[in-house]
Amino acid sequence: MSETKILPQISTSNWNVPNALTMTRIMLSLVMFGFLECECYIIGLILFVIASVTDWIDGWWARKYHQVTVFGRIMDPFADKLVVCGAFIYLASLPELVKEIYGLRIIVVIIVARELFITTLRAFLEQQGRDFSAKMAGKLKMWLQCVAIPACLLWVILPHDMSKNLLPQPLWLYWLMILSVWGTLIITIYSGVGYVIAALKK
């Protein structure tokens, strides 16, 4: 899809379901961070899943009922980045995850840096009337992030202290966590490069 096409028609009313869901997602993320700060990882996991579902619903609703707005095009990506980047930053602070996932902190830095850069690039290009909608690689990145973060939280939630005769986490969860985190890193870099190349095309 050409990056030079005109932006889709924008609705003049900001009072709609997609924007309400976007604002709900922002509030959910703040509550989620509070529970993660208190080490209530089960509730944090539940809130992350709910926030991720609202992301899918508001995008589907906006497209189906033609309720794309300027407010939504600004706040929806912001809400997504807030939820995902915030969650990854909290995960990178957990010693049990840093121990299991090699290079986790560097991975999180790269993910957050990419999101900040692409958000800036999106704002610049859309000011020029160029479309910067998510490509398939960007959507795949989001799906991988929505697998990696819950997998990491589950790893922390499940008991694994062998000194207390507790069963270790299942092997499938370990590999799901490892592969999804590293997969997120790879697709993050790949999609970011793809967006830059598309932006440079005239």
The answer to whether residue 25 scores a pLDDT higher than 60 is: yes
Give me the mean pLDDT over the 21-38 stretch: 94
Tokens of 117: 């850069």
Question: Based on the number of CB atoms within 10 Å of its own CB, is 198 exposed (0-12), middle (13-18) or buried (19 or more)?
Answer: middle
According to DSSP H, which parts of 65-135 are helical?
70-91, 95-100, 104-127
Q: What is the DSSP string of 14-46?
A: --SHHHHHHHHHHHHHHHHHHHHHTT-HHHHHH
Domain 17-200 belongs to what topology? Four Helix Bundle (Hemerythrin (Met), subunit A) (1.20.120)
Residue 183 has a pLDDT of: 95
Residues 6+ apart with CB under 8 A from 23: 75, 79
Residue 161 has a pLDDT of: 52
Residue of higher predicted confidence among 121 and 165: 121
Average pLDDT over all residues of the chain: 84
Q: What is the DSSP letter of 5?
A: S
Assess contact for 184 and 111: CB atoms under 8 A: yes
Question: In this structure, what are the phi and psi dihedrals at residue 11, rounded to the nearest 5 degrees?
Answer: -75, 150
Residue 198 has a pLDDT of: 76
Q: Which of 20-34, 68-82, 156-170 has the highest mean pLDDT?
A: 20-34
Q: How many CA atoms lie within 13 A of 165 on its CB side?
A: 0
The predicted-structure confidence for 91-103, as pLDDT tens digits, reads as follows 999 998 999 999 9
